[in-house]
Structure 1
């Protein structure tokens, strides 16, 4: 038998941690002296302690570790828990990798290095047929599941009415000023000819011309388009401009091509800052 101090030292944990594990029923001592209250542990409990530390290191909560170590979950359920934990870690790694790229982009701008090519130009008036939906917020994780089906729906509606459209498409996003204020309005549109009018399934309107816009081209997946937007916004700030209107995404190459082949022009209306 080992005293709690010996067991803690050999198991490379603190005495306080062992006491806590005992209190929550995760790892109870093999024996507790009824007079002194001293805890003693059996050598076979090192294996249990090792399993506890392993699953804790994998990111499981102590209540989950208790269920696993005490065989309260089946092998199938344990596999599901491990797969869910892996998906969660992978998602956080992707978010951290994207954040790291944005930090690198910001550092490059502070050093006067631009990682993107930006053009400033006017945008002509554009006649569009559009559909509108609401997403939970900005970011690909919120917008992606909403906007994808919108283009298919719009294409079907235009096809039913015999309308020629595209091939380029346009997306715009506006914050919703009602409810809890977290949602955004998503507009998905195709360019159409001058004789096309509003019909069931879509609204036809004209996007007004823009005197000046800062634009850049994003190549590839929508999962990383936020980083290109970040770089464009940094360029705008660094080069003496300020935002003056709702941005647009102009899809030069999109469906049915795979996303790694997509080409998207980011268009942000701007004006010169007065102090620039």
Structure 2
């Protein structure tokens, strides 16, 4: 069992994030000591925390992460990841078009200066 500070260091999640994840039932401690309310996490919690770190880096919202965690079989995880991948690809395309538009705008302004 790991105290919250140890677990935060292991996972890269802050203690505040771990408390928030517990509050929204995303990642609850494996054990809470009734005497002092210290939170303890176990190795199973570590796997879930690392998954949450990855999902957050992939741009999942809290609600999307809750959906993944509620599906304990993770049966829909691949489909969600593929959807997220497509969304990111579309965002890249849109941003690339904006960059091209900016370049054209800048180029047209430079032509007028000449």
Q: Which residue of 2 aligns with 1:66?
A: 66
Q: Stretches of 4+ moved more than 6 A in 1?
A: none
- Residue 69 of structure 1: how far off its partner (Å): 2.8
**3-state SS of the aligned residue for 1:40?**
strand
Q: Which residue of 1 aligns with 2:108?
A: 109
Q: Which residue of 2 aligns with 1:11?
A: 11
Unaligned 5+ residue runs, structure 2?
A: none
Q: Which residue of 1 aligns with 2:48?
A: 48
Do the aligned partners of residues 69 and 14 (structure 1) sit closer, same or farther apart at CA in structure 2, a change above 3 Å counting?
same
**3-state SS of the aligned residue for 1:5?**
helix
Larger Rg: 1
Unaligned 5+ residue runs, structure 1?
A: 113-237, 240-276
Do the aligned partners of residues 74 and 31 (structure 1) sit closer, same or farther apart at CA in structure 2, a change above 3 Å counting?
closer
More helix by share: 2
Q: Which segment drifts farther, 36-45 or 48-57? A: 36-45
Superposition RMSD in Å: 2.0
Q: Which residue of 1 aligns with 2:91?
A: 92
Distance in 2 (alpha carbons) for counterparts of 1:58 and 1:41: 24
Distance in 2 (alpha carbons) for counterparts of 1:37 and 1:12: 22
User: Is the counterpart of residue 27 in structure 1 residue 27 in structure 2?
Assistant: yes
TM-superposition CA deviations, 1:159-218 (whole Å, max 9, x none): xxxxxxxxxxxxxxxxxxxxxxxxxxxxxxxxxxxxxxxxxxxxxxxxxxxxxxxxxxxx
TM (norm. structure 2) is: 0.85
More strand by share: 1
Report if the CA contact (8 A) 1:5-1:15 is conserved: yes
Distance in 2 (alpha carbons) for counterparts of 1:97 and 1:34: 54
Distance in 2 (alpha carbons) for counterparts of 1:23 and 1:2: 19
Distance in 1 (alpha carbons) for counterparts of 2:74 and 2:26: 18
TM (norm. structure 1) is: 0.38
Q: Which residue of 1 aligns with 2:37?
A: 37
Distance in 2 (alpha carbons) for counterparts of 1:62 and 1:73: 19
- Residue 74 of structure 1: how far off its partner (Å): 5.7
TM-superposition CA deviations, 1:1-53 (whole Å, max 9, x none): 21111110111111100000000111111111112111111133211101111
Q: Which has the higher contact order (CA 8 A, sep 6+)?
A: 2
